[in-house]
């Protein structure tokens, strides 16, 4: 049985990016979209209900709570992508359709 550290190491090796790098990329994408829409941080703050300082921390460091990330995504019109984050993939074959639906894990 693997511990949390081993699972994290395996996940990092597969993605070749650290969680911090991914978070910074998400922040950079949010900033790029904000600028593409010609919005100031203050305007986005008032539209999202998230402080301008929190938006700056998201954009510069990738640090934000999930709730605030969702509020910013809604204000920028891209919340649909978040809803699909852990979505189960559509079946690719008849065999996939026949597989039983798991209700809990065993490992």
Q: What sign does the CA torsion over 44, 50, 56, 58 have?
A: negative
- In DSSP notation, 26-68 reads HHHHHHHHHHHTT--HHHHHHHHTS-HHHHHHHHHH----HHH
pLDDT, tens digit (0-9, with 9 covering 90-100), for 12-48? 666 678 889 999 999 999 999 999 999 999 999 999 9
Q: Which of 88, 85, 92, 84 is closest to 102 using CA atoms?
A: 88
Tell if the pTM clears 0.75, that is, is over it.
Answer: no
């Amino acid at each position: 049985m693997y511990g949390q550290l081993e699972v994290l190491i395996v996940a990092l090796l597969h993605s070749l990016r650290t969680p911090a790098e991914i978070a910074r990329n998400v922040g950079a994408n949010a900033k790029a979209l904000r600028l593409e829409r010609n919005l100031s941080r203050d305007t986005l703050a008032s539209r999202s209900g998230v402080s301008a300082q929190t938006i700056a921390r998201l954009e510069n460091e990738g640090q934000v709570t999930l709730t605030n990330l969702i509020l910013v995504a809604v204000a920028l019109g891209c919340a649909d992508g978040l809803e699909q984050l852990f979505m189960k993939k559509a079946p690719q074959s008849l065999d996939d359709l026949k597989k039983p639906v798991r209700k809990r894990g065993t490992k």
